Structure 1
Amino acid sequence: MVAWLRKVSVQRPRESYLNEMAMFLAGRAAEEVVLGTITDGAGGGRGSDLHRAADLATVVEATLGMGSALSYSSASTTQELENLRRSDPVLRRRVERLLRAELERATEIIRRRREDVEPVAKLLAKKELISGDEMRHVFARRVTRP
Structure 2
Amino acid sequence: MAKYRHRTFEMFDLFDEANDAIASKSTRPTADCDEPESWSFQHLIASRNAGVIHVQFKKREGLDTEIPSTLRQDFSQLSDSLVNNSRILLDFECLSEFSAPCIKELKLFNEKLQSKGSRMALCHLEPAVQASFFPDRIVTPKH
**TM-score, L = length of structure 1:** 0.25
Q: Relative to total residues, which structure has the larger strand share, 1 or 2?
A: 2
Larger Rg: 1
**TM-score, L = length of structure 2:** 0.26
Q: Relative to total residues, which structure has the larger helix share, 1 or 2?
A: 1
